[in-house]
């Protein structure tokens, strides 16, 4: 089947605007993760969804960031009032609960805030 997909692949926005990034995980994967990868930095964990449990939001950098996962499948990461430091590649990954050792990553969304 298809892998993890993300849209858009690239997004350029003006400082102060809100953006929504979408992730479509692999069918049947109940765990979904959002990471951020800035230039010269490692992947930074943002948020984790597991089934119907409350999400682990411990990695969100500020209250401008939020995410939801509807119907246990598609997830949307929303960044409000974007700042230039939000510019990064936002990566989504999914995994089966039973095989949480392997996270399958999507191609990412490159966000540029001007």
Partner 1 sequence: GQNIDQPTEMTATEGAIVQINCTYQTSGFNGLFWYQQHAGEAPTFLSYNVLDGLEEKGRFSSFLSRSKGYSYLLLKELQMKDSASYLCAVRLQGSTLTFGKGTMLLVSP
Candidate segments 13-21, 61-69, 76-84, 102-110, binder of partner 1 by CB under 8 A = 102-110
73-92 mask for partner 1 (x: CB under 8 A)? ------------------x-
Output the smallest distance, CB 18 to partner 1, in A: 25
Output the smallest distance, CB 94 to partner 1, in A: 11
Long-range contacts from 34-43, C-beta under 8 angstroms, 24+ separation? 34/67, 34/75, 34/77, 34/90, 34/91, 34/92, 35/90, 35/91, 35/92, 35/93, 36/88, 36/89, 36/90, 36/91, 37/88, 37/89, 37/90, 37/91, 37/108, 38/87, 38/88, 38/89, 39/88, 43/91
Distance of alpha carbon 109 from alpha carbon 91, whole angstroms: 7
Please pick, from the candidates 7, 11, 56, 72, the single residue that binds partner 1 as defined by CB under 8 A: 56
Using rule CB under 8 A, residue 43 touches partner 1: yes
Please pick, from the candidates 23, 69, 106, 111, the single residue that binds partner 1 as defined by CB under 8 A: 106
Candidate segments 16-24, 63-71, 74-82, 105-113, binder of partner 1 by CB under 8 A = 105-113
């Amino acid at each position: 089947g298809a892998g993890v997909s993300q849209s858009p692949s690239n997004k350029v926005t003006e400082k102060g605007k809100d953006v929504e990034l979408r992730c479509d995980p692999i069918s049947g994967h109940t765990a979904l993760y959002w990471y951020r990868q800035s230039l010269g930095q490692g992947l930074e964990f943002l948020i984790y969804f597991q089934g119907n449990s409350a999400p682990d939001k411990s990695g969100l950098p500020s209250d401008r960031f939020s995410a939801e996962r509807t119907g246990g499948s598609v997830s949307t990461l929303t960044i409000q009032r974007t700042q230039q430091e939000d510019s990064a590649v936002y990566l989504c990954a999914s995994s089966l609960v039973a095989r949480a050792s392997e996270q399958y990553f999507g191609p990412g969304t490159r966000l540029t805030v001007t």
